[in-house]
Amino acid sequence: PSPAEKAMVCFGGMFIELPKAKTREMLQQDQEELDEEINNLRKELRVKVNRLYEAQGKPELKGFNLNPMSAEEMKLISRILEG
The answer to whether residues 23 and 9 touch, using CB atoms and an 8 Å cutoff, is yes
| For the chain, domain boundaries | 1-62
- Residue 34 phi/psi, 5-degree rounding, is -65, -40
- Whole-prediction pTM: 0.61
Taking all residues of the chain, what is their mean pLDDT, rounded to a whole number?
Answer: 88
Any idea of the CA torsion for 36, 40, 46, 51, to the nearest 10 degrees? 180
Sign of CA dihedral 63, 64, 70, 75: positive
Half-sphere exposure of 48 (CA within 13 A, CB side): 6
Q: What is the mean pLDDT of residues 25-41?
A: 94
Structure confidence at residue 29 as a pLDDT band (50, 70, 90): very high
